[in-house]
């Protein structure tokens, strides 16, 4: 039987390819639908400080959702890589310039207001795979796991395509579970746990 890291690596390859196989029109329709479904998220009305991300590698593009959140008066933050491969979150306005980080991912410049994960209300997470129990398979760097593990009150919401769903995924003790996953078809409540 393969080890958990080997199994995760194989699943990442498979699920990233599923994501890449989705055509541009379907990808845009999914992003529009996810933005609409996200408005039904429990607690969204009370959430003020919301972290999101800039899509890469055929991830769900949260741009439409980000614009909707901005119109609702939410303060939007993007992840910034810090020493020790930790994330903090920098305030971002929709038209603010971004600069590439060490991985080539755009992030706000150093002068942007920063918040730790514990000071956020909600975070939208990119992912490679997910299970109905809230297990998230990311890209493998552990950035979100290290950074969100000490923020127990933070609502964690994965954005994904249905084709990224697995009935169960391998999970290690440091992996952070999601509270919800929003796909192009539904809002999945993962708070009851499960596989």
pLDDT at position 54 is 94
- Tally DSSP H helices, then E strands, for the chain: 4, 12
Going by the annotation, the residues of the binding site for substrate are 54, 59
How much is the pLDDT for 101?
87
In this prediction, residue 162 carries a pLDDT of: 97
pLDDT of residue 2: 64
Quote the CA–CA distance of 165 and 183 in Å, as a whole number.
Answer: 10
Give the residue numbers of the binding site for ATP. 8-12, 136-144
pLDDT for 133: 93
Q: What was the pLDDT predicted at 194?
A: 54
| Cβ contact 140:8 at 8 Å | yes
In this structure, are strands 136-137 and 129-130 parallel, antiparallel, or unpaired? antiparallel
Interatomic CA distance for residues 42 and 154, integer angstroms: 13
96 neighbors 112 (Cβ within 8 angstroms):
yes
Binding residues: 8-12, 54, 59, 136-144
Report pLDDT for 102. Answer: 84
Quote the pLDDT of residue 182: 98
- 4-189 is a CATH 3.40.50.10420 domain: yes
pLDDT tens by residue, the chain, 195 residues:
466 888 888 999 999 999 999 999 999 999 999 999 999 999 999 999 999 999 999 999 999 999 999 999 999 999 999 888 889 999 999 889 999 988 888 999 988 999 999 999 999 999 999 999 999 988 888 889 888 988 888 999 999 999 999 998 888 888 889 999 999 999 999 998 654
Q: Where are the domains of the chain?
A: 4-189
Close Cβ partners of 12 (under 8 Å, ≥ 6 residues apart): 128, 129, 137, 139, 140
pLDDT of residue 95: 86
């Amino acid at each position: 039987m393969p080890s958990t890291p080997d199994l995760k690596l194989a699943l990442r390859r498979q699920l990233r390819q599923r994501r890449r196989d989705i055509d541009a029109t379907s990808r845009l329709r999914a992003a529009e639908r996810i933005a609409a479904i996200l408005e039904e998220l429990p607690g969204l009305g009370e959430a003020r400080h919301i972290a999101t991300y800039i899509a890469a590698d055929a991830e769900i593009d949260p741009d439409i959702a980000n614009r909707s959140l901005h119109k609702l008066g939410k303060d939007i933050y993007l992840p910034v890589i810090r020493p020790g491969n930790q994330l903090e979150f920098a305030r971002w306005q929709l038209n603010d310039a971004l600069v590439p980080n060490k991985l080539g991912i755009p992030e706000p410049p150093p002068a942007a207001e920063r918040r730790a994960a514990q000071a956020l209300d909600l975070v939208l997470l990119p992912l490679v795979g997910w299970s109905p129990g809230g297990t998230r398979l990311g890209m493998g760097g552990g950035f979100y796991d290290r950074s969100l593990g000490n923020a127990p009150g933070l609502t964690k919401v994965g954005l994904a395509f249905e084709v990224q769903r697995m009935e169960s995924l391998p999970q290690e003790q440091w992996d952070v579970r999601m509270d919800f996953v929003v796909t192009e078809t539904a809002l999945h409540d993962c708070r009851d746990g499960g596989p």
